[in-house]
Amino acid sequence: MLALVVAALLVSHPTPNNWPKADCQSAFGKTACGYDCTAAFGDVRCAATPFGKCQAAFGLIGCGDPSRRAIRQAGGSPPQMQCTAAFGKVACGYDCTAAFGDVRCSSAPNGRCEAAYGKVTCWEPDEGERRDDDRSDEKAQCLSQYGKTTCGYGCVAAYGEVKCAKRPSGTCTVAYGQITCSD
């Protein structure tokens, strides 16, 4: 019975040992092996995991893969990444944002990026701050006020400050001239 449970977990949560077989692509006298391989502009590149993504634009090939932490948090099967090309740059990840001449992406599916005040800010939850009562699929948010951008959960802006909780189950409250967050 235990063997059946373990086998079911391995099938439902891919690990490097049971990922689909990598592909190899050859072009321009070069060969690359991996996933979502892309050949363009005299180069060939591939993502390192089946959850990675590659895109060619502006004479570049950008590839990205979720972090090991993101793969682990998603039970071995994170959502497919995206790639965004703008301003002569290519970035791959999650919640990609292009603005102010920059393109940035979060490396975690539950991360967040925000464009405000002339820059793009990306944030990923810290694995060490998660607890069993946290909802792993809860998406972070970013809040921009008073010339500041802060990301996390339950964000609040008041009194010239912007604060967010670090965990999905955390909250922030405004009272008596200050913001208090419980993590």
Ordered mean pLDDT values, 10 residues apiece, the chain (183 residues)? 34 64 94 96 95 94 88 83 94 95 91 94 74 59 94 95 93 94 88
Q: What is the pLDDT of residue 115?
A: 96
**Half-sphere exposure (CA, 13 Å, Cβ side) for 2?**
0
Alpha helices, DSSP H only, in the chain? 2-12, 68-73
Q: What is the pLDDT of residue 72?
A: 81
Q: What is the pLDDT of residue 135?
A: 52
Q: What is the pLDDT of residue 139?
A: 76
What are the extents of the domains in the chain? Answer: 21-94
